[in-house]
């Protein structure tokens, strides 16, 4: 069965650079979520989209932005990267704003040097 | 605010031992409770869930009962296997009006290692 696809799997950037993470949800899933998991930390909710509109916002820095496109894939754009942004970024998708279980991708590991 | 507290790991067990990972929660409204498992190099997978008090979630030999009186959702398995080695996350999401169901609040995770 198709799963949530995230790209790239690994990304290394320098401070003050920009990064773009991509997420391709399971076909027919209309809701996408982004989570950030720092080293040894629990995943923290960043932002979610339902039918291409932002549906909820968590602890996402102003330097980050995200959107969901017409094909339902989503991109997380991160600017002015800081060392503290180094983390595992998960995308998850679901049907109907989470009324069905969330399916997570394998994550993108971002390292900022 | 809503939060989840899990017992700290790591937990190391021999194969066929009994497993308990404690989880307690704080939430307003009526949360749904989940256990997710993360195998090395992979994303989070839903292991089991319970949506109301006294519900028992179960999957692959794992069980957890939603206890409202003690605000707990402890994960148990009667006989662990080497293949159960992973990180286990307790999580909640709220069902009450105005909440996005998919916004999960996670605990810190508990690393389980099972030796043969």
The answer to whether the Cβ–Cβ distance between A42 and B43 falls below 8 Å is no
CA of A25 to nearest chain B CA: how many angstroms apart? 13
Q: Which of B4, B104, B108 sits opposite A102 (nearest CB)?
A: B104
How sure is the predictor about B95, in pLDDT bands with cuts at 50, 70 and 90? low
Chain B interface includes A97 (CB < 8 A)? yes
* Residue predicted with more confidence, B27 or B110: B110
The answer to whether the Cβ–Cβ distance between A45 and B104 falls below 8 Å is yes
Compare all CA atoms of chain A with the CA of B5 and give the residue at the minimum distance.
A42
| Cβ contacts of A107 on chain B, cutoff 8 Å | 43
Chain A interface includes B89 (CB < 8 A)? yes
Strand B75-77 versus strand A108-112 pairing type: unpaired
Strand B31-38 versus strand B44-50 pairing type: antiparallel
Whole-number percent of chain B with pLDDT over 90: 72
> What's the maximum distance between 2 C-alpha atoms anywhere in chain B?
47
- Cβ atoms of residues B33 and B92 within 8 Å: yes
Q: Does residue B105 register a pLDDT over 70? A: yes
Which pair of tokens denotes residue A81? 């990267």
Distances (CA, A) of A20 to A59, A77, A102, B42, B70: 18, 5, 22, 20, 43
Q: Which of A10, A43, A87 should we substitute to test contact with B (largest number of B Cβ atoms within 10 Å)?
A: A43
Q: Does residue A86 register a pLDDT over 80? A: yes
Average pLDDT over residues A87-92: 95
């Amino acid at each position: 069965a198709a799963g949530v696809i995230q790209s790239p799997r690994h990304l290394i950037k320098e401070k003050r650079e920009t990064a773009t993470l991509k997420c391709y949800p399971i076909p027919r899933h209309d809701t996408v979520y982004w989570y950030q998991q720092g080293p040894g930390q629990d995943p923290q909710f960043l932002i979610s989209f339902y039918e291409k509109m932002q549906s909820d916002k968590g602890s996402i820095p102003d330097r980050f932005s995200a959107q969901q496109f017409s094909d339902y894939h989503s991109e997380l754009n991160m600017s002015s990267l800081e060392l503290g942004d180094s983390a595992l970024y998960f995308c998850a998708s679901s049907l109907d704003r989470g009324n069905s279980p969330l399916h997570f991708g394998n994550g993108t590991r971002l390292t900022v040097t | 605010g809503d939060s989840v507290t899990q017992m700290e790991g790591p937990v190391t067990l021999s194969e066929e031992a009994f497993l308990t990972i404690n989880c307690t929660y704080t939430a307003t409204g009526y949360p749904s409770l989940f256990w997710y498992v993360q195998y090395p190099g992979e994303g989070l997978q839903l292991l089991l869930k319970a949506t109301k008090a006294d519900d028992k979630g179960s999957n692959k030999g794992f069980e957890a009962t939603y206890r409202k009186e003690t605000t707990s959702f402890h994960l148990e398995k009667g006989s662990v296997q080497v293949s159960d080695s992973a990180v286990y996350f307790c999580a909640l999401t709220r069902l009450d009006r105005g909440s996005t169901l998919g916004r999960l609040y996670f605990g810190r995770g508990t690393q389980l290692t099972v030796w043969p």
